[in-house]
Amino acid sequence: MSTQELAAPAPAPVDVDQAEAALVEHYPRLVRIAYLVLPSDLGRNRRVLTAHSVAQRSLPRRRASGGEGGMPGQRRPEDAVDPGYAYVRARVLRQALDAGLPLRRRAWPRRAQLPPLLPQVWGLRLFPRAGGADELALDQRLASLSGPGRAAYVLRGLERQGDAEVRRVLAAAGVADPEAALAEADAVEAPGGTGAAGLLESPEFDPCSLQARPTDLMRRRQHGKAALAALAAAVVCGALLGLPGDGWGPDGAAAPSYARNPVSEAALDPVNLRRVAPAAWQRSERTDFSVWPARGALVGDRALLRRALAVWARPGATVQVSATPGTPPGPPMGPPQLLFAGEVDQARVVLFHDGLRAVRYAEPKDGTEGAALDFARTDGADTAASAALVVGRTHANVRYLTAPWVREVSARDLLAPSAGARPLERDAHGVTDALLSPVAPSECRAWDVLEVRDGSATRTLTDLGELAPVRLTSGPPSAPADLADAGAGARAEWARTACLLPAVRAKGVRAVNSWRFAEQELPGAAGTAGTAAWVCTRMETWRGTGGSVLAQFQAPSAKAGAVVAKAEDSPACGTREPRVLAGALWRSGDGRWWMLAAGSPQVASVTVAGGATGGVDDARLLAVEVPGKPGEQVELTGRLEDGTKITSLR
């Protein structure tokens, strides 16, 4: 096929009057063409109305050349029709093809893809008169074609055009591959041996000769009652909104209100916020977030509290929202507890608690642009877990709001285990001075933690980028100890472990325990290589699932531990399964490679498969030389004291 078959010289102009005359004269035929090209999945009623709408919208808005509608300039003998009719037919084809395209989220819909504005019929369903079996079979076969395929079949069968002219008309109507459309049309055979033109001209495909039936009368009555109720509600709401005053008042960065419900309004009214007395924690049997008093210089600022509650219920598009995994970010179920409202650095901050979550709202001092909303799950928090919350975060610094029972706070660098803790000041509301956040991008040269002392113990907390800080402990899973009281050995282990914590940043971690489950003399010349530590680090989450376990090999001269195994959602090193087995390849000073392994105290024996010889006196430790390449795979297994088989952590 030559390009001349699809390209034509500029046609003569078509006047509006000329196109209108053609539309009036050939209106039934044009509507039939649109009805046949439209997809059958629109339904017969909407297909009829859309066909009429397409035909009625086919007039040009001004004097236009045929190029606008795609009318070829030179007519072939097989299409020697009135130019006005050819122009209007091209417009009908283009709109019918557009109406069959699927709607896409990111694309602006074309006018033909939307339900027709006119004509409209209320209370009736319209459809053409039923045809015979041949017409039904043809309609089903046309339904299996694409829109261009149906258009090609109609132009060839109903308009009796040759293939060359069909290609030009389809190309002018915006069809990308007219040849493929003709190939689709070739695959359709008229049922019963009847000619295509005869079937296409039958009453089955005549949208101008229609039958009428009522719509669902019962459903229409129900919809009418619902519409009246909705109208009455709209009138009442409009009257209420028009009353003097500002109603709820400005909501800042909140999205538009989605409901007017008495329970929802009570939860969003700052008057109903639950406020705990300053000394309530001293008389309560519980020491957790439920007995935190309302603190801060802005606890009486109702406008700020109203904005915070409104943004919590329906954060706008400009609000930065974050939530720890497993934390629902929805609105409060009832009036929440107010923990804090005040100015922190360059922001106004409000802290809430609803029994399940701690919620932080922050907005700039000079407006609400750039407001932030943070959610953290805190259900089941005990005295240690509710000792502090992050109240402010700027650049690389973090500030904490401490619990009312915290007597002293200090800071300590985990990477300097021999250095002592340094005092950290707090204001009258319990907000600490700025502390360097360890999760800020850095080379991990320092790791500042917060130490809070209450009447019974000193807790060590660290920031992992969330609202609730993470508690750090050390020791066996059955009796972990606070890091501050665990001794110099535990601080030395944590100095080699701290830089691994960014791997669980923003994972909803509640506590991290480091457990030295074994020590091993390293093989080497005359046993001078030193003693290595095997450490299991377990991260527990607030939601109970999704915890991580790391097995470390801490060589005596290394500054950081080497992770030799890790697992997700594993009970190893926890209270349910307080045992672990891990191994690692290690190169001694004389250049030999060794397979080292260690098990927790519950492990009675350790074996390795893979062609290695050697051993140690302790049955739960293993040190065998690997004569082959270091990359060779070995299988490590062990047995517990009761004979149960245990595999290495993975």
Separation CA 430–CA 402 (nearest Å):
5
| Mean pLDDT value of segment 310-337 | 92
Q: How confident is the model at residue 75 (pLDDT cuts 50, 70, 90)?
A: very low
Q: Which residue's entry shows tokens 């041996």?
A: 193
| Mean pLDDT value of segment 78-93 | 79
Q: How confident is the model at residue 192 (pLDDT cuts 50, 70, 90)?
A: low
Separation CA 274–CA 306 (nearest Å):
14
The pLDDT of residue 234 is above 80: no
Query: For the segment 338-387, what is each residue's pLDDT rounded down to a tens digit?
Result: 999 999 999 999 999 999 999 999 999 988 888 999 999 999 999 999 99
Q: Phi first, then psi: what are they for 496, rounded to 5°? A: -95, -5
pTM value surpassing 0.75: no
The pLDDT value recorded for residue 632 is 62
Q: Residue ranges per domain, the chain?
A: 3-213, 246-374, 448-647
| Mean pLDDT value of segment 515-540 | 85
Buried b (16+ CB within 10 A) or exposed e, 349-384: bbbbbbebbbbbbbbeeeebeebbbbbbbbeebebb
Helix (H, G, I), strand (E, B) or coil at 57: coil
The residue among 37, 215, 20 whose CA lies nearest residue 112 is 37
The residue among 108, 100, 111, 186 whose CA lies nearest residue 146 is 100
Query: For the segment 153-184, what is each residue's pLDDT rounded down to a tens digit?
Result: 999 988 888 899 999 999 988 899 999 999 99
- Written as one string, the DSSP assignment of 559-600 is SSPEEEEEEES--BTSSSB---EEEEEEE-TTS-EEEEEEE-
The pLDDT of residue 71 is above 60: no
Torsion sign over Cα 155, 161, 162, 165: negative
Residues 6+ apart with CB under 8 A from 17: none
Query: For the segment 429-452, what is each residue's pLDDT rounded down to a tens digit?
Result: 999 999 999 887 678 889 999 999
Q: How far is CA 414 from the centre of its chain?
A: 35
The pLDDT value recorded for residue 105 is 62
Separation CA 494–CA 475 (nearest Å):
11
| Mean pLDDT value of segment 386-414 | 95
Residues 6+ apart with CB under 8 A from 298: 304, 341, 342, 343, 348, 350
Q: How confident is the model at residue 487 (pLDDT cuts 50, 70, 90)?
A: confident
Separation CA 542–CA 377 (nearest Å):
6
Query: For the segment 108-153, what is each residue's pLDDT rounded down to a tens digit?
Result: 677 766 777 778 787 787 868 777 777 788 888 888 899 899 999 9
Q: Phi first, then psi: what are they for 182, rounded to 5°? A: -65, -40
Q: Phi first, then psi: what are they for 183, rounded to 5°? A: -65, -40
Whole-angstrom CA distances from 258 to 253, 526, 590 are: 15, 77, 73
Residues 6+ apart with CB under 8 A from 268: 248, 306, 309, 310, 313, 331, 332
Query: Distance between the two ends of the chain, CA-based, in angstroms?
Result: 65
Separation CA 204–CA 209 (nearest Å):
9
Q: Which residue's entry shows tokens 């179920």?
A: 333
The pLDDT of residue 1 is above 60: no
Side by side, the strands of the sheet bearing 635-640 are 603-609, 635-640, 645-647
Buried b (16+ CB within 10 A) or exposed e, 542-576: bbeebbbbbbbbbbeeeebbebbbbbeebebbbee
Lowest mean pLDDT among 26-40, 148-162, 385-399, 620-634: 620-634
The pLDDT value recorded for residue 244 is 47
Q: How confident is the model at residue 8 (pLDDT cuts 50, 70, 90)?
A: very low
Whole-angstrom CA distances from 605 to 269, 534, 608, 638 are: 64, 16, 10, 5
Task: Tell me the helices (H) and strands (E) count for the chain, helix number first.
Answer: 15, 26
Residue percentage of the chain with pLDDT more than 70: 83
Separation CA 169–CA 403 (nearest Å):
78
Q: Name the token pair of 520.
A: 């091993």
Q: What single-letter amino acid sits at 17? A: D
- Higher-pLDDT residue of 489 and 121 is 489
The pLDDT of residue 204 is above 70: yes
Q: Name the token pair of 172.
A: 């002018």
The residue among 172, 191, 190, 194 whose CA lies nearest residue 181 is 172
Query: For the segment 424-433, what is each residue's pLDDT rounded down to a tens digit?
Result: 999 999 999 9
Query: For the segment 275-314, what is each residue's pLDDT rounded down to a tens digit?
Result: 999 999 999 988 999 999 999 999 999 999 999 999 999 9
The residue among 397, 399, 309 whose CA lies nearest residue 350 is 309
* Mean pLDDT rounded to a whole number for the chain: 84
Separation CA 239–CA 256 (nearest Å):
18
